[in-house]
Amino acid sequence: MSALSLNRPADDPRIAGRASPRRATRRASDQLFAAVPALWLFVFFIAPLGFTVAFSFGHADFGGVRLGFTLDNYAKALSGFYLEAFLRTIRFAVTGCALCLAVAYPTAYFIARHAGRFRQVALLLVLVPYFTSFLIRVMSWQILLARGGPIEAVLNTLHLHVGPLDVLDTQTAVFIGLVYAYLPIAIIPLYVVLERIPATLVEASRDLGASSWQTFVHVILPLSRPGIATTVLLTGVPMLGELVIPSLLGGDKGVLMGQAISSQYIDSQNYALGSAMAVLVLLAIAVMVALLARLTRGFAEVSA
Amino acid sequence: MSRPALARPALALWYALVVAFLFAPILTSVIYSFNLGALNKQTSLFTGFTVDWYGAAWNNLQIRRAVWTSVVAAFWAALFAVLIGTALGFALVRHPNPNVRRLLAGLTYILLIVPETVIGVSLLLFYAVTAVPLSLATLIAGITPLAISVTALIVRAGVLTLDRRLEEAGADLGANRWQVLWYIVLPHLAPAVTAGALMSYVFSFDNLVVSTFLTTPSVNTLPVYLYGSLQYGPSPAVYAAATAVFAFTLLLVGLAGLFFRLIGKRRATLQSR
């Protein structure tokens, strides 16, 4: 999973695997520390996902699933309304993730390289939303974006907009919500890589005659690639299953996969079809991870 | 003005806008918890100031029960996350076998990126197939993996800064592995473990998507209750409840921060002696 690592040099297996005088007890504790979490996560995470995969090949009976092997569910999930929802979801995740990156990068850049001694505070401020209820924040966007709501008033006062604001229950509102919800988690990995770029590299680039823009494009941007990859991973991938934001801000048009899957389970009780759609989302994730791994290839070696 | 001189204020302005963007809904939810509303429903127009919703939220038995369920669920999830996540964070760095480390790292990260909707429906299916009735315990078990992964990543960062020579010195002086872990490693990891516990508690308390699939009418957490109340238009009382919880969370975080500050100071004075 090279796309995911933040490239800490101490991960070097040569350091981590060193022999010790008390090998036996040490080995016992090491195995225990690995086995307990692995077992727990296997039971409450991997096994359930396995059930989903198994059910996705099952036959849908009224309200139940007969196990077996059929691709009917996938055929259904990849046609008509559901295919549209799948493609729309991918489009939303890609766009939402790109927007998030565009907003987060300058923010992280400012915190890492310009905030000086206020760096910690600047980072903390960005994380405060995590300590409040996610749902209430999304509900507050409903208030903010509503016709006759606060944002309309502000925009009209600033003469940036005239008349009533028709944003709520549109795609735009969903994008605002997505960027909003994922922004903090997008900023952190970018901050981590940007903060680690040595000032000497930037100085060297200047001394060699590069303008600050050239330094940014040819030195800083390429070096922040692992952070960009991690950000894409932590924002774009979960967006593929986003449920609450499109339901609350997007109105009833343009259902996304998260909503489609959830309604198969909760309303239609068609577990087989719901499972097939969930597996499609997992496949889309696998493709995204593979692409990101390519993007950061070579970085693990460089930092070690 | 040259470009670099212009870049800095531009970035500062951008940062300020982002912070305003991030805080706008938080402020809104606090302000609108004092909104009079109309017909017991929240309105996007501020119709008047009142503090009655706080009393209404307190007297609403459903909200009170949901808050309590959330507190209990988040407490247990945080406890499991600390026990299991700390072990995982340690194993991520220190397990002697690099393949095991890679596998565990893969597991930890996959948890963070698999959409919660997929995790939620899978758990629902899992409990249905294994015929385990949904209860508070199944809810807690369902939300622990996420908390474990968050804690593990925080602890991992702490383990990476450990000075191995201290452990070797302890071992040379005759401590067994468990004594080394208990007396040397764990105290050094205390801030990371506490941060992990706090994050786990807050995230588990706030978990909505996985919980939506695992709650029943008798086991209802606050976010799930709020989500349900959206169907018939939420009362400003839910904003009041959320604001009260937010204040409590801030208090908790503030106390934890203060605690570590004091410990840090004491350590500094001890070392300077």
Contacts of residue A140 in chain B, CB cutoff 8 Å?
24-26, 28-29, 32
With respect to residue B12, please indicate whether it lies within any of the assigned structural domains.
no
CA-nearest residue to B239 within chain A is A136
| A36 at B interface, C-beta within 8 A | yes
Q: Would residue B218 count as lying in a domain? A: yes
Q: Does B87 touch chain A (CB under 8 A)?
A: yes
Give the domain range for residue B123: 60-272
User: Do B107 and A125 count as a contact with CB atoms less than 8 A apart?
Assistant: no
pLDDT of residue A252: 77
Query: Which pLDDT score, from 0 to 100, does residue B249 have?
Result: 86
Q: Which of residues 182-241 of B touch A (CB under 8 A)?
A: 202-203, 206, 208-209, 212-213, 222-223, 226-227, 230, 234, 238-239
Q: How far is CA A146 from CA A82, A151, A181, B99, in A?
A: 29, 8, 18, 52
Instruction: Note the pLDDT of residue B145.
Output: 94
pLDDT at B223 over 80: yes
Six-digit token string for A125: 């401020």
Q: How confident is the model at residue B143 (pLDDT cuts 50, 70, 90)?
A: very high
Q: Quick check: A25 and B177 CB within 8 A?
A: yes
C-alpha pair distances (Å), B76 with each of A288, B79, B90, B197: 34, 5, 21, 10
B7 lies in some domain: no
**Per-residue pLDDT tens digits for A230-267:** 899 889 888 998 999 999 998 877 789 999 999 888 88
Show which of residues 207-226 on chain A sit within 8 Å of chain B, judged by CB atoms. Answer: 211-213
Residues contacting A173, CB < 8 A, separation 6+ = A141, A145, A167, A249, A250
Across the interface, whether the CB atoms of B25 and A266 are under 8 A apart is answered no
- Residue B179 within any structural domain of the chain: yes
Residue tagged 């939300």 (tokens): B143
Q: Which long-range contacts link B50-53 to residues 24+ away (Cβ below 8 Å)? A: B53/B235, B53/B236, B53/B237, B53/B239, B53/B240
- Domain membership flag for residue B30: no
- Is the CB of B114 less than 8 angstroms away from the CB of A262? no
Q: What is the mean pLDDT of residues A96-119?
A: 93
> Has residue B78 got a pLDDT over 90?
yes
Q: What is the pLDDT of residue B273?
A: 57
pLDDT beyond 50 at A6 = no
- For the cut 50, the answer to whether the pLDDT of residue A222 exceeds it is yes
Neighboring chain B residues of A132 at a CB cutoff of 8 Å: 26, 29, 242, 246, 249
pLDDT above 60: residue A61: yes
**Residue B26 domain-assigned (yes or no):** no
Distances (CA, A) of A134 to B25, B227, B259: 10, 11, 27
- Residue A26 pLDDT: 61
Nearest to A34 among B4, B104, B226 (CB): B104
pLDDT tens track for B242-253: 999 899 888 988
| Residue B4 reports pLDDT greater than 70 | no
Buried b (16+ CB within 10 A) or exposed e, B176-200: ebeebbeebbeebbebbbebbbbbb
Say yes or no: B30 contacts chain A, CB-CB below 8 A. Answer: no
Q: Which residue of B has its CA nearest to A4?
A: B109
Structural domain contains residue B39: no
User: Is residue A4 over pLDDT 60?
Assistant: no
Average pLDDT over residues B116-142: 92
Domain total in chain B: 1
Residue B63 confidence (pLDDT) above 80 = yes
Give the gap in angstroms from C-alpha B223 to the nearest C-alpha of chain A. 7
* Rg over CA atoms, chain A: 23
Chain B residues near residue A262 by CB distance under 8 angstroms: 117, 120-121, 212-213
pLDDT at A174: 94
Q: Which residue of B has its CA nearest to A256?
A: B117
Rounded Cα–Cα distance for residues B195 and B189 (Å): 10
Average pLDDT value for residue range A106-125 = 91
* Binary contact (A285, B114; C-beta < 8 A): yes
CATH of the domain at B254: 1.10.3720.10
Q: What is the pLDDT of residue A208?
A: 92
State the smallest CA–CA distance between residue B188 and chain A in angstroms: 17
Residue B27 lies in a domain: no
CB contact under 8 A, B145 and A45: yes
Among the ranges given (B54-58, B128-132, B256-260), the one the predictor scored with the smallest mean pLDDT = B256-260
Which pTM was predicted? 0.86
Residues B144, B74: Cα–Cα separation, whole Å: 9
- Contact assessment for residue A130 and residue A184, using Cβ atoms and an 8 Å cutoff: yes
ipTM of the complex: 0.86
pLDDT band at A62 (very low <50, low <70, confident <90, very high): low
Whether B29 contacts B42, CB under 8 Å: no
Q: How large a percentage of chain A has pLDDT more than 70?
A: 88
Domains and CATH numbers, chain A: 1-56 (no CATH), 73-297 (1.10.3720.10)
CA A101 to chain centre: 11
pLDDT category, A30, cuts 50, 70, 90? confident
B13 touching A, CB under 8 A? no
Task: Note whether A135 contacts B227, CB cutoff 8 Å.
Answer: yes
Asked if A44 lies within 8 A of B142 by C-beta distance, the reply is yes
* Angle, vertex CA A115, rays to CA A113 and CA A118, nearest 5: 140
> Is 70 exceeded by the pLDDT of residue B192?
yes
pLDDT at B54: 92
Tokens of B110: 């996959």
Instruction: Give me chain A's average pLDDT, please.
Output: 84
Report pLDDT for A38. 93
Over range A95-122, report the average pLDDT: 93
- Whether residue A49 and residue B114 make contact (CB cut-off 8 A), yes or no, is yes
pLDDT bracket for residue A19 (50, 70, 90): very low
Total residues found in chain A within this entry: 304
Residue B70 pLDDT greater than 90, yes or no: yes
pLDDT, tens digit, for every residue of A196-206?
A: 888 899 889 98
Of the partner residues A131, A239, A244, the one whose CB lies closest to the CB of residue B246: A131
Q: Among A162-166, A185-189, A276-280, which is the least confidently predicted range?
A: A162-166
Inform me whether the pLDDT recorded for A300 exceeds 80: no
> A163 by DSSP, 3-state: which?
coil
- pLDDT at residue A63 tops 80: no
